[in-house]
Amino acid sequence: MAAFEWSPLWLSLRVALLATALVLAAGIPLAWLLARRNFPGKDVLGAVVSLPLVLPPTVLGYYLLILLGNQSVLGRWLNRVGFPLVFTWRGAAVAAAVASFPLLFETARAAFESIDPRLEAIARTLGRPNLFIFWRITLPLAWRGILAGLALTFARALGDFGATLMVAGNIPGRTQTMSLYIYDLVQANRQNQANQVVLIMTIVAVSMLLTARLARRAVK
């Protein structure tokens, strides 16, 4: 029995971590903005960032491929500065990030909305700058919701197949993540190795789900 490759697991973890970091960096400010501010186009923006939840992953990946590939201005610019995304592991991370973005965004937004805005208002009358208030009042009161969203985001990013395949391809040792590896193993009729990989993925996914549930429950 041939042992399975470990490299897809490390790659998957790397992709999922980078994706989660990207989602965190973009998702928290956006979630706060939509929870607290009113501006024209707010509803449209909220719908667009939640779109990855309902779009088929391959369709999403196709959009990203067009946007980041050589056909677009952005893609050509990325190539020029020596940071191509298409067919790289970073591209896989971007694809996984976009696909899992709504999971953090929605939970963080709900967490922000559940905070009485008058707490922040009172804090402002006490003379503290808005950023300080965000760090000391808003985030601490929302962090459990955010943590739950992060766990789901990480699990989703770890398991992405369609979007990653479209953007980064399935290059063993370079962009072949666990999900893609499983597909290859099954195609090659290597049932035993597939079983092991599936087991690992299941354990990771279930533990992420448990983390999310624990974080959520502690909110109540």
Partner 1 sequence: MLELRLRKRLKNFDLNLALSAPKGITALFGPSGAGKSMTLACVAGLAQPDAGRIVLNGEVLFDADRNINRSPQRRWVGYVMQDYLLFPHMTVAQNIAFGLTRRSRAEKKDIVADALRRIGLAGFERRLPAELSGGQQQRVALARTLVTNPRMLLLDEPFSALDESTRARLHRDVLRLRAELDIPILFVTHNLAEAYRLADNIAVLEAGHLLQFGPPETVIYHPTSRTIAKLTGGSNFFKGRVVAHSPAETVLQVGQVQLVAPPAPVRAEAVVGLSIRAERVMLIRKDGPGGRRENQVQGHIVNELTDGFNYTLFLRLDDGRRLQKGGYDLEIKLPAYVYERLGIAHEKRWAVTIKRRAIHIF
Q: Among 29, 56, 129, 172, which residue sits at the site for partner 1 (rule: CB under 8 A)?
A: 129
Quick check: 37 binds partner 1 (CB under 8 A)?
no
Q: Among 48, 119, 210, 218, which residue sits at the site for partner 1 (rule: CB under 8 A)?
A: 119
Stretch of 115-123, 155-163, 179-187, 209-217 contacting partner 1, by CB under 8 A: 115-123
- Sequence length of the chain is 220
Quick check: 126 binds partner 1 (CB under 8 A)?
yes
Quick check: 205 binds partner 1 (CB under 8 A)?
no
Nearer to partner 1, 33 or 141 (CB): 141
Quick check: 219 binds partner 1 (CB under 8 A)?
no
55 contact partners, CB below 8 Å, separation of at least 6: none
**CB crowding 156-174: b at 16 or more within 10 Å, else e:** bbbbbbbbbbbbbbbeeee
Quick check: 122 binds partner 1 (CB under 8 A)?
yes
Q: Name which of 97, 114, 92 is nearest 32 in CA terms.
A: 114
Stretch of 91-99, 121-129, 145-153, 212-220 contacting partner 1, by CB under 8 A: 121-129
Whether 194 contacts 181, CB under 8 Å: no
Q: Name the residue with tokens 């960096």.
A: 25
Q: Using CA atoms in the order 10, 12, 14, 18, what is the torsion angle rounded to 10 degrees?
A: -170
Whether 162 contacts 98, CB under 8 Å: no
Quick check: 38 binds partner 1 (CB under 8 A)?
no
Stretch of 27-35, 84-92, 118-126, 188-196 contacting partner 1, by CB under 8 A: 118-126
Stretch of 69-77, 97-105, 136-144, 165-173 contacting partner 1, by CB under 8 A: 136-144
Q: How many residues bind partner 1 (CB under 8 A)?
A: 16
Q: Among 18, 60, 123, 168, which residue sits at the site for partner 1 (rule: CB under 8 A)?
A: 123
Between the alpha carbon of residue 206 and those of residues 39, 69, 201, the distances in Å are: 39, 35, 9
Q: Among 40, 41, 127, 173, which residue sits at the site for partner 1 (rule: CB under 8 A)?
A: 127
Q: Among 26, 51, 67, 141, which residue sits at the site for partner 1 (rule: CB under 8 A)?
A: 141
| Angle between helices 191-219 and 7-36 in degrees, nearest 10 | 30
For partner 1, the binding residues (CB under 8 A) are 116, 118-119, 121-129, 136-137, 140-141
